[in-house]
Amino acid sequence: MRRRCSHLLVGATLVTAAIFFTWMWFWKPTSILRPATGLQPGTPSPLLPVRGSANLSDGTYTYHLNLSLFQSEFPLLQSYRCSLTLAPQRARPEGDNVTRPLLLLGIKSHPRSGARRAALRQTWAREGQVAGFWVRTIFLMGESEVSGHMNMVREESRAYGDVLQWDFTEGHHNLSLKERCFLAWLHNQHPRAAFIFKGDDDEYVNPEAVAQYVTEHGGSPVTLHGALQRHANVMRYSKYRVSETLYPLPVYPIFLSGGGYIFPGGSVGPLYEASHTLPVFPLDDVYFGFLALAANLNFRHDAHFYVYGLAFEPCQYRRALVVHGVGPERLLEVWKDVQSARCEEGAAGGR
């Protein structure tokens, strides 16, 4: 009996070992699901898609996002891995600027829009110290099918070191990839950024007004700031069209207009984690609103985010955080007039 038990014990041990080594052969460590830091251009993020269907409620509406429908209509948005082609040079502030909090301006641009970027670099997109912050601008881009545009962007990247480019093709729906991939880049490369302003390259932005605003109103790490859109109607036509099959509700959750908004560095982690679980919505500002809802973040509306434009008056522009719809030639004129304007004390200055 003792010999029989011994044989049974050895047999059970061999079976267990076989199962263990078979499991080890097929098992993949969960760490590969986490993004690596220090990614170089041309290196895709090792993050594997783990997004799924979701039900979200804001207390008024419940939003159901069906992953299979999103995969059917917008497969690239769901499967794309954030592969960099150009990465910005790291900022190297000197002296006491090293300890200043970082205010990062993430500006969506298209490779063809070189004139816009040139105007921004001559005005408000210059790196430097502003009202106690170290301000830096990063241009967020996909790729163009025009080789001349791509060559221009590579030259700009070498000259200014302010381009963050991925290998997806520019397109209206692909703007949502800039949201997702920018969050991943922030999480990996700039975890200590104090605040992030997100905007477009056809805008007037006042970095000093932004810095003063976050100093006064940016105390909460879970509050996002901008022009609030409250349950906006879903459009079933134009480039903003979303099908009823994909999204049957007639309204969207509350979100901030993509023309310009601010979020604190403390919110990047929750937003980044939410991007792992939600399907990527084909409208970038709506997508960011869904991420904020999933991350349980709050909003603060402020009228100084002029996302629909503003008639020019120097002192009013000096108080504005952002004015959308300002072309490159006009921006140079506006900037000069705002800098030389004599305004009432207390108005936010230029740069």
**What is the structure's pLDDT at 97?**
62
What are 176's two structure tokens? Answer: 């949502």
Strand segments, DSSP code E, in 2-109 are: 54-57, 62-65, 84-86, 102-108
Q: Return the CATH number of the domain spanning residue range 54-304.
A: 3.90.550
Question: Mean of the per-residue pLDDT values for the chain?
Answer: 87
Residue 226 has pLDDT above 50, yes or no: yes
The lowest-confidence range among 16-20, 109-113, 188-192 is 16-20
Could you give the CA distance from residue 285 to residue 258 in angstroms, rounded to a whole number? 5
pLDDT, greater one: 166 or 11: 166
pLDDT, greater one: 229 or 38: 229
Please write the tens of the pLDDT for every residue from 271-291: 999 999 999 999 999 999 999
Domain boundary assignment for the chain: 54-304
What are 11's two structure tokens? Answer: 């047999």
Name the pLDDT band for 43 (thresholds 50, 70, 90).
low
Q: Report the alpha-carbon angle 127-131-136, nearest 5.
A: 20
Please write the tens of the pLDDT for every residue from 111-151: 999 999 999 999 999 999 999 999 999 999 999 999 999 99
CA nearest 209: which of 348, 341, 345?
348
Residue type, position 45, single letter: S
What are 10's two structure tokens? Answer: 């050895």
Q: Is the dihedral of CA 181, 187, 189, 190 positive or negative?
A: positive
What are 15's two structure tokens? Answer: 């079976």
Could you give the CA distance from residue 115 to residue 61 in angstroms, rounded to a whole number? 43
Q: Is the pTM above the cut of 0.95?
A: no
pLDDT, greater one: 44 or 189: 189
Residue 348 has pLDDT above 80, yes or no: no
**Helix residue ranges per DSSP H, 145-297:** 147-160, 175-189, 207-217, 268-277, 284-294
Q: Is the dihedral of CA 304, 310, 311, 313 positive or negative?
A: positive
Torsion angles phi and psi, residue 229, rounded to 5: -110, 115
Could you give the CA distance from residue 198 to residue 140 in angstroms, rounded to a whole number? 10
Could you give the CA distance from residue 248 to residue 303 in angstroms, rounded to a whole number? 31
